[in-house]
Amino acid sequence: MRLPQLLLVAGLAARPLAAQANAERIANDRYTRSHDYDLIHQRIEVGNFNWDSTSFDGRVTTTLVARRAGLDSVILDAGAKLVLKSVTAGRAAGATLRTSRHGDTLVVYLAKPIGFGDTARFTIAYHGVVESGHGLTYINPEGRPHRPRQIWSQGEDHDNHYWFPTYDFPNDKMTWEVVATVPKGMNAVSNGRLVSDVVGQGGARTVDWLQDKPSATYLVSLIVAPLAKVHDTWRGVPVDYYVYHEDSALARPLYRVTPDMIDMYSRLTGVNYPWAKYAQTTVADFFGGMENVSATTLVDWLPGRRDYQDRPWYLWILIPHELSHQWFGDYVTTENWANMWLNEGFAEFMPGQYWLHKQGARAEEDYYLDEYSQFMQIDHDQRMPLAAMGSNNIYPKGALVLEMLKHYLGEQRFWASVHRYLTDHAFDNATTDDMRQAVLDATGENLDWFWDQWIYQAGYPEFVVSAKYDSSAQTVTVVVQQTQQDSSKADSTGLRYTTPQVFRMPVDIRVGTATGDITARGELARRQDTVVVRGVKSTPTMVVFDDGNGILKRLTFEQPTAWLATQLDRDPNLWNRQWVIEQLSQRKGDTAAVAALARAATKAEYFLTRAAAVGVVAELPVLQSAMKDTSAQVRAAAVEALGSLSGAAAQVAPLARDAWLHDSSDAVRAAAVTTLALSDSASRRAVILEALRTTSYRDAIQIGAYRAIVRSADTTLVDTVDARAGEQRFALHALAAMAGRGSSHALDLLTKRLDDERGYVRRWAVEAFRFSLPRDVAQPRLQAISATLKFTDTRQAVADLLQQWR
């Protein structure tokens, strides 16, 4: 959303902002929880796991130190469903201690009050019952492939107390030991170093893991599953990959990058990887990854050999993101969840730094370009600051603000600041202001204004720029207006997030001429600023505002096509090029614009620029040439663009068929299925059926087929789609999409799947009703059948959904 404001008061002074920032910071401090003891260590013993009753037996010995005189009771978080057997003083078998329970709170009364700084120790034995998905998730195979029986824990934010009594908040670090006894054929992976691994009677296995350096309790982790271990090392530190046995051949090609990433992060931060080992373990039905300290949990979507050309998210983001949390989140941890961007912003930022150092500046810009589009979408939906409780943009905006900070400070001062932040708060907690302090201590520069506008306040500058050349004065005068509006409304509690009227930042301007470039730096500090570039001896060939893309922004800058074309040819920065492509794509009848885009589509040296230009150029010869590109992403963009080429169906179908039959990339083939099915109705059915039979990484090709079915609105394929309901959740989403386009048969079949004998199919069906069917179709149908549903779990899920929609 852009709100151009035409009448601006030039020279309006930046308003003082400190009051607002300070208020926001104090408000964030308020989210830190108080308690009157210091957790030192927990020994967590678990066994007797039962998948039918989602239960186990547990015994937890807690050691803590009193933080007040006369501490007579200890308040712990403990799930209400944990059934206490005994609570005794000491390690075990001591005197029984009195307890009381209030919902998810357990109070342990000590035998006698202890003094400030004194130590208490007690042991809680219990029968653990969990609601699967809360603290622990129990997975049964349900007859599906690639899905061994397993259990995984998930603590963040406040879920670990559902499986063991603890202090479930990030601001009290402890060491711990997890001793798990698991059934024959299974393994148990947890945090820290392996103490022992013993197979006992009947094949039951007891694995003892010791996390001997302190970290936060939400990072306590346990995975129980039949797992193969693939071993690696970094400077003698074990680096292990635990995957299903059937995946063992896929593990090393994917994870072997890990030691190099550990090395890179250690060098960049100046803090060596701090933990006794690094394990990455795959589990089923996981949302992505979780940075449990020294024992990351990851989803089980391992790419195969041919999938690497499509740059799998798993390798590009997931592995380096979770790894960087071992420093940012696990070593230094946010003090409360209102400062969570310190964890997630850094973790989202760091992969871009890894790729910068491995693949160069374009790869770095490529990485943050994606963050930029995510952030713009999120900010458009709801504008929030980074450092706020429940902030919606901590990942992309966190990454972008840190990248901007690095650009502002320069590499050396930036990494010195990061080093300071990590070492000042090692094995401890931090707030947003601690990071500002670290920059101040490392560089001498107080960035309170930067923190205020980018971290404590919301939004970003929306620049409207104009440039004028004066040949007699040999100057280019650049007028920069900031047009962002502070228009957010207060919520029901009166809390309102502000957007700065003025973002203060230095900006670089580059003017191209026939005899070379001239650059100038301006300081933006007002609603309207003017930057004069001097010594421009000949007519400019281009004017680049924010050379190097140092500011997170939106830009409106009307200029001649010739300038844009020159910039597209010459500007190395990917954000800038992407912006130029967007400008040129709006100049439809302009042959110079089309020629510039065609040149970029075939000749730009980085694939992302070629792919972006291909997407807007809509010229058959350009697309034909792009289909021979070495980059799969460019070929996929070309095949996709072919589909929208009007009046060329005769040429489109053979090209799409060729890509479908012969391309080595599944992403290209998936795009080809859709384009081919839509451009050649005679072969549509055969192509779609063949695509549905073709397996591919994360079902890319089958999804292409479902997309083709939905977009062609071919209702003769509804039964075919329904027949695949047990194999892919997308089949149910396709049914829902077709129902949404008016197919009553699709709606009936989807409704029937709510009574499917297989629980996971029923869950997928509910999900399809919720996400892929317009509510005005879904709601009346669910209301009509909710009372007749066969299975209680589905009845409950449908009732919950209807309640939510009410």
Which DSSP symbol is given to 442?
Answer: H
When the beta carbons of 390 and 621 are compared against Zn ion, the nearer one is 390
Segment near Zn ion (CB under 5 A); pick from 195-203, 339-347, 371-379, 501-509: 339-347
For 300, the token pair is 């089980």
When the beta carbons of 319 and 692 are compared against Zn ion, the nearer one is 319
Segment near Zn ion (CB under 5 A); pick from 31-39, 68-76, 340-348, 399-407: 340-348
User: How near is the Cβ of 328 to Zn ion at its closest, in Å?
Assistant: 9
Measured CA distances, 522 to 403, 451, 465, 482, 690 (Å): 20, 21, 13, 14, 59
User: How near is the Cβ of 666 to Zn ion at its closest, in Å?
Assistant: 27
User: How near is the Cβ of 296 to Zn ion at its closest, in Å?
Assistant: 10
When the beta carbons of 329 and 548 are compared against Zn ion, the nearer one is 329
When the beta carbons of 344 and 629 are compared against Zn ion, the nearer one is 344
Q: What angle do CA 467, 471, 474 make, to 5 degrees?
A: 80
User: How near is the Cβ of 357 to Zn ion at its closest, in Å?
Assistant: 21
When the beta carbons of 324 and 794 are compared against Zn ion, the nearer one is 324
Q: Per DSSP, what are the bridge partners of residue 65?
A: 38, 119
User: How near is the Cβ of 223 to Zn ion at its closest, in Å?
Assistant: 18
Residue nearest to Zn ion (CB): 347
Residue 347 engages Zn ion in binding (rule: CB under 5 A): yes
When the beta carbons of 347 and 507 are compared against Zn ion, the nearer one is 347
- What gap in Å lies between CA 560 and CA 538, rounded to an integer? 16
User: How near is the Cβ of 676 to Zn ion at its closest, in Å?
Assistant: 39
For 581, the token pair is 């492509």
When the beta carbons of 168 and 348 are compared against Zn ion, the nearer one is 348
Give yes or no for a contact between 172 and 39, defined as CB atoms under 8 angstroms apart. yes
Segment near Zn ion (CB under 5 A); pick from 67-75, 104-112, 347-355, 451-459: 347-355
Segment near Zn ion (CB under 5 A); pick from 1-9, 185-193, 337-345, 510-518: 337-345
The footprint of Zn ion on this chain (CB under 5 A) covers a number of residues equal to 2
When the beta carbons of 224 and 347 are compared against Zn ion, the nearer one is 347
When the beta carbons of 29 and 156 are compared against Zn ion, the nearer one is 156
User: How near is the Cβ of 392 to Zn ion at its closest, in Å?
Assistant: 15
- What gap in Å lies between CA 339 and CA 334, rounded to an integer? 6
Provide the CB-side half-sphere exposure for 702 (13 A, CA). Answer: 20
All residues at 6 or more sequence positions from 157 whose CB lies less than 8 Å from its CB, including other chains: 218, 337
When the beta carbons of 232 and 344 are compared against Zn ion, the nearer one is 344
What is Dmax (Cα atoms) for the chain? 94
- What gap in Å lies between CA 284 and CA 303, rounded to an integer? 15
User: How near is the Cβ of 679 to Zn ion at its closest, in Å?
Assistant: 41
User: How near is the Cβ of 343 to Zn ion at its closest, in Å?
Assistant: 6
Based on DSSP, count helices (H) and strands (E) in the chain, helices before strands: 27, 28
Determine which helix (DSSP H) or strand (DSSP E) holds 87, and give its type and residue range: strand 83-89
When the beta carbons of 254 and 347 are compared against Zn ion, the nearer one is 347
Segment near Zn ion (CB under 5 A); pick from 346-354, 383-391, 762-770, 782-790: 346-354
User: How near is the Cβ of 244 to Zn ion at its closest, in Å?
Assistant: 24
Comparing CA positions, the residue from 350, 355, 353, 301 lying closest to residue 326 is 350
Q: In 142-174, which positions are buried (b, 16+ CB within 10 angstroms) versus exposed (e)?
A: eeeeebbbbbbbbbbebbbbbbbbbbbbbbbbb
Segment near Zn ion (CB under 5 A); pick from 300-308, 336-344, 354-362, 452-460: 336-344
Which DSSP symbol is given to 453?
Answer: I
Q: What angle do CA 730, 733, 737 make, to 5 degrees?
A: 135
User: How near is the Cβ of 344 to Zn ion at its closest, in Å?
Assistant: 5
Segment near Zn ion (CB under 5 A); pick from 213-221, 301-309, 344-352, 503-511: 344-352
All residues at 6 or more sequence positions from 552 whose CB lies less than 8 Å from its CB, including other chains: 372, 375, 397, 400, 401, 404, 454, 460, 461
Determine which helix (DSSP H) or strand (DSSP E) holds 59, and give its type and residue range: strand 55-66
When the beta carbons of 298 and 636 are compared against Zn ion, the nearer one is 298
- What gap in Å lies between CA 60 and CA 58, rounded to an integer? 7
When the beta carbons of 127 and 158 are compared against Zn ion, the nearer one is 158
User: How near is the Cβ of 278 to Zn ion at its closest, in Å?
Assistant: 16
Give yes or no for a contact between 361 and 411, defined as CB atoms under 8 angstroms apart. no
**Cα separation of the two ends of the chain:** 30
Segment near Zn ion (CB under 5 A); pick from 165-173, 268-276, 343-351, 429-437: 343-351
Give yes or no for a contact between 785 and 751, defined as CB atoms under 8 angstroms apart. yes
How does strand 428-430 pair with strand 462-470?
A: unpaired
Question: Looking only at residues 56 through 115 of this chain, which bind Zn ion when binding is defined by CB under 5 A?
Answer: none
When the beta carbons of 430 and 667 are compared against Zn ion, the nearer one is 430
When the beta carbons of 347 and 438 are compared against Zn ion, the nearer one is 347
- What gap in Å lies between CA 722 and CA 757, rounded to an integer? 15
Which DSSP symbol is given to 16?
Answer: P
User: How near is the Cβ of 395 to Zn ion at its closest, in Å?
Assistant: 7
> In the stretch 287-326, what mask flags binding to Zn ion with x, by CB under 5 A?
----------------------------------------
Say if residue 690 is exposed, middle or buried (CB neighbours under 10 Å; 0-12, 13-18, 19+). Answer: middle
> For tokens 């798990």, what's the residue?
180
Segment near Zn ion (CB under 5 A); pick from 338-346, 623-631, 648-656, 669-677: 338-346
User: How near is the Cβ of 321 to Zn ion at its closest, in Å?
Assistant: 6
Q: Per DSSP, what are the bridge partners of residue 42?
A: 62, 176
How does strand 187-190 pair with strand 237-243?
A: unpaired
Question: Which residues would be at the binding site for Zn ion (CB under 5 A)?
Answer: 344, 347
